[in-house]
A and B are shown apart, each in its own frame.
Chain A
Amino acid sequence: MTDNKVEEFVGRRGRGWNIVAYVVLSLASAIAIFPLIWLGMTAFKDRITAFALPPVWIFTPTFESFKVLIGFRHMELFMLNSAIVALGSTGFSIGVGVFCAYALARFRFRGRESIAFWILSNRMIPPLALALPLFILFQKFHWLDTRRGLIFLYTAMQLPFVVWILRGYFEDIPYELEEAAMVDGDSWFSAFRKVTLPLAGPAIAATAIFVLILSWNEFPFALILTGATSRTMPPAAVTFMVESNIHWNEIGAACLFIALPMVVFVMIVQKQFVRGLTMGMVRE
């Protein structure tokens, strides 16, 4: 079907336009991936080659910057913080959000659409708008510079996303299967666990990866609400820039640590990416 259409659209001028497409897309792809490659190269240079002009393209890789990062700048601590916060908030927001999404997808009750819209509207608020009240709130609860504070905050931040996207997936699963299980004498929960949850499994996994990426990447709140003990990677990388008299090879290595896992994850959820980005508004 797609072939037909393309042929149709291309018409007789096909060949020429295909060459244009190749050239433009290759160029765009090169621009898209070059900075990451350059970053990777910088991470394996020593301090002098990283700064050298003209830019050095061929060099002997060293692990100097990684040694400094782990031995001297305690990056392993920030990595651990990032991992705990990202995994924790992913776990909580999925664990809590699944039920809400399910309720909004399956049940018929008054005010359903209003609740759904209210949940979404939480996502429209620019995060920095809540920064000051949250700062004061965290201060009162003694949550400043703790991982649990950040986990709780990220859980709340990602919930609208989780609920909206999973709601769409649950709607795609026919309720009849679940109903049949209940007729057979299962309780609601065991029907949900045995029938619906396995069917939604891949969707939930993809959503979890999305949440993981969003939490891992978060910057403004991590900057404001964490200090030395609970700092996550993104604000830590920025402080390297200030502290270290700009050793670009170290910053490059830190950036590589932050960015690479996420690139891998994005490649895993490629198929669900459009749906995820639009919070389920566009289904592929």
Chain B
Amino acid sequence: MAFILRKRNAKRQEEKAAGGGFYRSGFFPWLLMMPTLAVLGLIGLFPFGYAIYLAGRKLILSKMYLPNPFVGLANFQFLMQDPTFIHALFITLVITLEAVFIEFWLGLGLATLAQRNIRGKGFFRVCLLVPMAITPVVTGLMWRFMLYPGAGLIPYYGKQLANLFGRETFPELLSVNYALQTIVAVDVWQWTPFMFLIFLAGLASIPPEPYEAARIDGASPWFIFRSVTLPLLRPMILIAILIRTMDAFRIFDKVFVLTSGGPGDATETLAYYLYRSGFKFFHASRGAAIALIALVIIVGFSFLFVKLLRKEAVIR
């Protein structure tokens, strides 16, 4: 079961497209791609340009009749001095880093265990697929129900457990002090399986030879893991982290359903702040400016990561 990275070396690309003269036609492929490019231009490129235009003006959605003067970088300047924005940025980074970190190690650990030649492997795999299959909004609602103070089963059994250990109370998981960690936990519940599946595929594709060699040299299991498994898994690790980070950074659905950014602004992420500025306060220009800042951060990150990925050797 060999796996290959999509970004393979240039030589293979040459081979692939090197068919007869037909496949070298200069015009025909553009004809085939035209509809896609047109749709993406209209929904991807055009709104993007419009967002840049908006960010430099002062447009209020509920007062479209007012003139929308050009204000230069005033929107960005406002955000830089806006404690709510800085806070939202901070919250987003905390959620992203924490969630991806935990998901990574948990997923890797579970995959290492699941690659053993044990019975019922398929069953465990299917069970672990379930969280990913569930609509993010439903995930949020489901956990909100289970965590609901006075009705949910987690506070109820949590309290019993706390009493068992001689404590009076169980922390309210959706309160100011814990809400952020709860969101991270729900995200971990949903997306650890993603890491798990990718690493399971990655582990299965590692050939047995390096392990044999390491064993003959008398290496310890921990040493084998660190110096054989991890390096060979590196491309997978990079892809998994890239995709998860991109997704975690724009977390919205779960926040919206679980806490609505609250209590107060304890769990207000960038995406939620953007939603609030744009669609609650109708400040379109400020929303666009937030969007552009978020975009620069995430594209910058992805770019660095893709560069790292390109350097990786192609594994077959």
Contact = CB atoms under 8 A, between A and B. Distances in A.
A132 B288 contact: yes
A18 B118 CA distance: 7
Interface stretch (A61-69, A199-207, A214-222): A214-222
Contacts, number: 333
Interface in B293-312: 294-295, 298-299, 302
Contacts of B166: none
- Of the candidates A22, A28, A175, A270, the one having the most CB atoms from chain B within 10 angstroms of its own CB is A28
Given A188-B22, A277-B197, A133 B39 contact: no
Given A107-B25, A129-B295, A277-B197, A36 B114 contact: no
B37 to A, nearest CB: 8
A20 interface: yes
A228 interface: no
A99 B115 contact: no
Contacts of A10: 116-117
B89 interface: no
Contacts of A182: 22
Nearest to A2: B204
- Of the candidates B33, B207, B257, the one having the most CB atoms from chain A within 10 angstroms of its own CB is B33
B224 A282 contact: no
A106 B221 contact: no
Contacts of B16: 105, 171
B129 A270 contact: yes
B50 to A, nearest CB: 4
B197 A21 contact: no
A168 interface: yes
B17 interface: yes
A108 interface: yes
A124 B299 contact: yes
Contacts of A157: 43
A224 B279 contact: yes
A266 interface: yes
Interface string B37-51: 101101110111011
Contacts of A110: 26
B117 to A, nearest CB: 4
A3 B115 CA distance: 10
Contacts of B116: 6, 10, 17-18, 21
Contacts of B69: none
B287 interface: yes
A100 B48 contact: no
- Of the candidates B28, B109, B130, B298, the one having the most CB atoms from chain A within 10 angstroms of its own CB is B130
Nearest to A126: B250
Interface residues of B, number: 115
A282 B110 contact: no
Contacts of A131: 274-275, 278-279, 287, 291
Given A216-B135, A273-B129, 11 more contacts: A8-B211, A22-B118, A32-B127, A96-B36, A129-B294, A130-B43, A132-B284, A133-B46, A237-B138, A238-B137, A259-B135
Interface of A: 1-11, 13, 17-18, 20-22, 24-26, 28-33, 35-36, 38-39, 42, 50-51, 53-55, 96-97, 99-100, 102-110, 112, 115, 119, 121-122, 124-137, 152-153, 155-157, 159-160, 163-164, 168, 171, 175-176, 179, 182, 188, 213, 216-217, 219-220, 223-224, 234-235, 237-238, 241, 246, 248, 251-252, 255, 258-259, 262-263, 265-267, 270, 273-274, 277-284
27 contacts: A10-B117, A17-B116, A21-B116, A35-B131, A39-B142, A100-B37, A108-B18, A109-B25, A119-B40, A125-B295, A129-B294, A130-B48, A133-B50, A135-B278, A175-B19, A179-B22, A213-B133, A217-B135, A219-B253, A238-B141, A238-B257, A241-B257, A258-B138, A259-B133, A263-B134, A278-B239, A281-B6
Interface of B: 1, 3-7, 16-20, 22-26, 28-30, 32-33, 35-37, 39-40, 42-44, 46-48, 50-51, 54, 61, 109-110, 113-118, 123-139, 141-146, 148, 150-151, 153, 156-157, 189, 193-194, 197-198, 201-202, 204, 206-208, 211-212, 215, 221, 224, 236, 239-240, 243, 246, 249-250, 252-253, 256-257, 271, 274-275, 278-279, 284, 287-288, 291-292, 294-295, 298-299, 302
8 tightest Cβ-Cβ pairs between the two chains A and B: A156-B43, A29-B127, A129-B291, A133-B47, A266-B133, A100-B36, A103-B29, A107-B29
